[in-house]
Structure 1
Amino acid sequence: MIISEVSEFFRLFNSHLGESFLFFSLFWIVHGINQLCGQKLNIFGIIPRHPASIIFGPICAPFLHADFNHLLYNSFPLFFMLAILFAKGPSQAIATILAMNLLTGLITWLIARRGNHIGASGLIMALFGFLLYKGYQSPSVESIIIALIILYYFGTLLLSIFPDDLLTSYEGHLAGLIAGIVIAHYGIPYSIQTIAIKPAYYLNIMAATLFR
């Protein structure tokens, strides 16, 4: 029973690795475009309490990074947790990410210090909180093993929700952790699940074309 459940997860993990890689590539593509534009795209980050920022910020901010090191630092935990999420299927993964970005962005917009909050750290914390809470909420061999691996390798991420320096958006990290737990507990609104169907369909086609 345990072996079959773990084997099934790895089968799904491997079968959707192409989709998770393509989605992850978006972060690097956007970063490259942003660098070519002289980082002008950073205007679409989250600027707390700025009316226009609430429109684009929650969706755009996770894809924008201050520099190469900022994105590189985020890349390993981001790809690892995205790959786990995509094992449940591209549609569900994209819907979850969209819900996470929207809620993380809203909370950050409400509580964060003034400035421009960008980077995938909020999404990483949302994924972290989501996967940990799933191990508690719906305990199974798969969810518990995932939660333990996440906690073992990325447990120090919890320290990032506390104030450290002026350049780190600990408010965005805290907002992401809260958003991940909330979404894991209450689920994803049907409207967001519907929106995710088309992007997931095209992502699946691209992955099938490139990797299979």
Structure 2
Amino acid sequence: MAIGFGDTTDDTAATRFGTVPFYASLGRAFVTMCAVIPVLFLVEVLDIGVDGRLDVAGGIIPHRIDGLDGVLFSPFLHAGWDHLYGNAVPLILVGTFALAGGAKRFIWSTFLIMLISGLGVWLIGDPDSVVVGASGVIFGYLGLLVARGFVERSWWNLGVAAFIGLLYWYQLYNVLPTDQPISWQGHLLGLLAGAIAAIIFRRRRPRAQQPLIGGPNLYGD
């Protein structure tokens, strides 16, 4: 199943590297993602003010029904300032390029990434843990950009994904099982969810118009 998104002329131009609509779309996406980060910092301030109780209340607690709401809330929560700082810059980077591809499918893709990654953590995560953080969404956006490059034959998206991968290659091992206190399940499932979102919410290529062929009646003869 694929949900296609019809393109206007401006939408199509916004996906072509080097055009004015492309740079305008990228600029708007960057400003939007930069506006998201202060919200995350505000949430962290509130969490510290209540001694971290927001993390427990809104985090994913695997296998527990009362921890299921964390699927929606956990990406907005972080386990301290270092955790938030570590997620802030990559979230701006990958989020900007993901959002520049279109706001509507960005929203749907984000929801799908949160759902698959969060539910996966709830199902197979450590039941003695509380999982918070936006890293599952970040890996989801990375998977989205890589898969979108192949699905939509966009060298631009592949180039962006490769560039970000080079910047944060040392983090990619976090999609594998580890003894470190990180949710590798959320990272791996987020990456896969992003690839799925790229396929489901791919941009349809406009069909080439066929020439009209008809008899005399077509021309009113």
TM band (smaller chain): 0.7 to 0.9
* Aligned-residue offset at 1:51: 1.2
- Could you tell me how far apart the structure 1 residues matched to 2:109 and 2:171 are? 20
Change (3 A) 1:105 1:73: same
| Distance in 2, Cα, partners of 1:23 & 1:16 | 11
Cα distance change of structure 1 residues 156 and 137 upon mapping to structure 2, 3 Å threshold:
farther
Q: Distance in 2 between matches of 1:24 and 1:86?
A: 15
Q: Provide TM-score, normalisation by structure 2.
A: 0.76
Match of 1:6 among 17, 26, 29: 17
> Are residue 24 (structure 1) and residue 37 (structure 2) matched?
yes
2:121 equivalent in structure 1: 108
One-letter identity of the residue aligned with 2:82: N
| Contact persistence 2:62–2:125 (CA under 8 A) | yes
| Alignment coverage as a number of residue pairs | 184
How big is the shift at 1:36?
1.3
CA distance in 1, matches of 2:29, 2:180: 38
Does 2:88 match 1:75? yes
Q: Please say if residues 6 and 142 of structure 1, whose CA atoms lie closer than 8 Å, have aligned partners that are also in contact.
A: yes
Contact 1:46 1:53 in 2 (8 A): yes
2: distance between equivalents of 1:24 and 1:98? Answer: 18
The question of whether the paired residues in 2 share the 8 Å contact of 1:24 and 1:82 is answered with no
Asked whether the equivalents of residues 5 and 141 of structure 1 are also in contact (C-alpha less than 8 Å), the reply is: no
Q: Which of the numbers 87, 90, 95 marks the counterpart of 2:100?
A: 87
Q: What's the Cα RMSD here?
A: 2.0
Distance 1:20 1:90, change over 3 A: farther
Q: What per-residue deviation string (whole Å, max 9, x for no partner) do you get for residues 98-147 of structure 1?
A: 22111110111111112111111111111111111111221123223223
Looking at structure 1, the residues matched to 189 and 29 of structure 2 have their Cα atoms a distance apart, in angstroms, of: 28
Whichever structure has more helix as a proportion of its residues is 1
- The Cα of 1:150 is off from its aligned counterpart by 2.6
Instruction: Tell me by how many angstroms 1:155 deviates.
Output: 3.2
TM-score where L is the length of structure 1: 0.79
Larger radius of gyration, structure 1 or 2?
2
Of 125, 142, 145, the residue aligned with 1:128 is 142
1:35-67: CA deviation from partner (whole Å, max 9, x where unpaired)? 11211111211111111222x211111111111
Q: Percent identity?
A: 27
1:163 and 2:180 correspond = no
Contact 1:97-1:123 at 8 Å conserved across structures:
yes
**Once the two structures are superposed, what CA deviation does each residue of 1:175-196 show, in whole Å capped at 9, x if it has no partner?**
21121122222239xxxxxxxx
Aligned to 1:198: none
* Separation in structure 1 between the aligned mates of residue 87 and residue 122 of structure 2, nearest angstrom: 21
